[in-house]
Amino acid sequence: MRWQGRRQSANVEDRRGSGTGSMVRRGGTIGCGGLVLILIFTFLFGGDPQQLMEVIQQSQPSAGGPSAGPGSRPGGPPPPGAPVGDQLGQFASVVLADTEDTWNALFSRSGSRYQEPRLVLFSQAVRSACGFNSAAVGPFYCPGDGQVYLDLAFFNELERRFGAPGDFAQAYVIAHEVGHHVQNLLGISEQVEREKRRVGQRQANQLSVRLELQADCYAGVWAHHAHTQRQLLEPGDVEEGLRAAAAIGDDAIQTRTVGRTRPESWTHGSSEQRVSWLRRGMKTGDPTTCNTFQ
């Protein structure tokens, strides 16, 4: 990706080194790492993956636990919007800025205003409006505060555990979480959550899959405009993104961790589905083609 020297976002909050806390959160979207842990437990010990997620979400941090917010200790993180100094942090900031360019233009075209999300960089654990979170759950979006949370160490896991190296694979992860922010702004996330409370577990899982696949498509929409309007992508980048989408499909994760698949337990979609919807967004650049709920 041709990202060096490009605009960095003013919506980055660097909380790395500000302390750690409990390993749980409430109300957010489970990330790739958390999905792996949930799948391992439900396959080895049985039970419903959604019930396990609810147990995790209902857990509370211990009283007086350390805060992961800014200023939690002397010498803590810089204030929100301060420039990120390290190269990987700068990369994440540039990608976020480019998603802002894309979604500001698309929302404006439809006669509405895009509310830019904040990207919170953290290490080990973090507090959000969705509770306390361990880095083990992977990158996530919290609709309660409209922020994306990312431990940059996940990119090492993406390459080592999932076999998906490359800067565009990393950018896809960020763009996918920004896709959840777009869903939140459009009211899609709230509608899905209401419907999930109304239906049974299998149907709720299917709705979760559709929500994740739409976020993949929205990530592809960003990639389309990043390439056609700003020439951000280089040869091989698209393949990196598609490889990453395939690597974190539910079937690929289940096969890798427990040796078999259970489609009824999927919450993010198969490798084929994730690649297909990411590719659709890349091809069209039109968010209206990302209706996974039809």
For 144-154, write each residue's pLDDT tens digit.
999 999 999 99
Residues β-bridged to residue 127: 132
* Buried b / exposed e along 220-259 (16+ C-beta atoms within 10 A): bbbbbbbbeeeebbeeebbebbbbbbbbbbbbbbbeeeee
Confidence band of 40 (pLDDT split at 50, 70, 90): very low
Q: Which pLDDT belongs to residue 79? A: 57
- Mean pLDDT value across residues 215-239: 94
Q: Give me the DSSP letters along 131-158.
A: EEEEGGG-SEEETTTTEEEE-TTHHHHH
Q: Which pLDDT belongs to residue 31? A: 54
Q: In 157-288, which ranges are E strands?
A: none
Confidence band of 83 (pLDDT split at 50, 70, 90): low
End-to-end CA distance of the chain: 34
Confidence band of 261 (pLDDT split at 50, 70, 90): confident
Query: Within 10 A of 30 (CB to CB), how many other CB atoms are there?
Result: 21
Residue with tokens 């979006």: 141
Q: Phi, psi (5° rounding) for residue 204? A: -65, -40
Q: Using CA atoms, how far apart are residues 96 and 81, in angstroms rounded to an integer?
A: 12
Q: Would you call 45 exposed, middle or buried from its count of C-beta atoms within 10 A (0-12, 13-18, 19+)?
A: exposed
Q: Using CA atoms, how far apart are residues 67 and 127, in angstroms rounded to an integer?
A: 7
Q: Using CA atoms, how far apart are residues 5 and 143, in angstroms rounded to an integer?
A: 31
Residue with tokens 């993010």: 268
- Mean pLDDT value across residues 237-256: 83
Q: Using CA atoms, how far apart are residues 153 and 245, in angstroms rounded to an integer?
A: 18
- Mean pLDDT value across residues 217-227: 97
More confident residue, 158 or 167: 167
* Residue 209 clears pLDDT 70, i.e. is over it: yes
Judged by average pLDDT, the poorest of 66-70, 99-103, 202-206, 238-242 is 66-70
Judged by average pLDDT, the poorest of 2-16, 49-63, 127-141, 160-174 is 49-63
Please provide the average confidence, as pLDDT, over all residues in the chain. 81
Q: What percent of the chain has pLDDT over 70?
A: 77
Q: Which pLDDT belongs to residue 264? A: 81
Q: Using CA atoms, how far apart are residues 124 and 134, in angstroms rounded to an integer?
A: 6
